[in-house]
Amino acid sequence: MQQSARLMGVFMPGRGLFGDFRELDNKFEVFRLFQYADRELGLPVESLPIDEAVRRALTMESFRSIWILEGI
């Protein structure tokens, strides 16, 4: 769905039926980072001590880090 939002943003810049496609793409990205924090870190979060999971998340760029921390 995120790729579809990006593609629609290319063909239909500006506001579409569902609003700004760039905003929709960002929302999908945030959900993915939050929901799949373990995949983003490359390890199952539930098996890591919380301080190690947080430390790994903080090594990523700010936008990604914030939402991965929410997922943790």
Q: What is the pLDDT of residues 3-57, one digit of tens each?
A: 655 555 555 555 555 557 777 788 889 999 999 999 999 888 778 788 989 999 9
Specify the pLDDT at position 25: 80
Are 25 and 40 contained in the same domain?
no
The secondary structure of the chain, three-state, reads CHHHHHHHHHHCCCEECCEEHHHHHHHHHHHHHHHCHHHHHCCCHHHCCHHHHHHHHCCCCHHHHHHHHHHC
Residue 35 and residue 1 in contact, taking contact as beta carbons nearer than 8 Å: no
Specify the pLDDT at position 22: 74
Are 20 and 45 contained in the same domain?
no
Are 40 and 22 contained in the same domain?
no
Are 22 and 46 contained in the same domain?
no
The domain in which residue 68 lies consists of: 36-72
Are 20 and 48 contained in the same domain?
no
Decide if pLDDT at 65 tops 90. Answer: yes
Are 40 and 68 contained in the same domain?
yes
Are 24 and 49 contained in the same domain?
no
Instruction: Flag whether the pTM goes above 0.85.
Output: no
Specify the number of domains making up the chain: 2
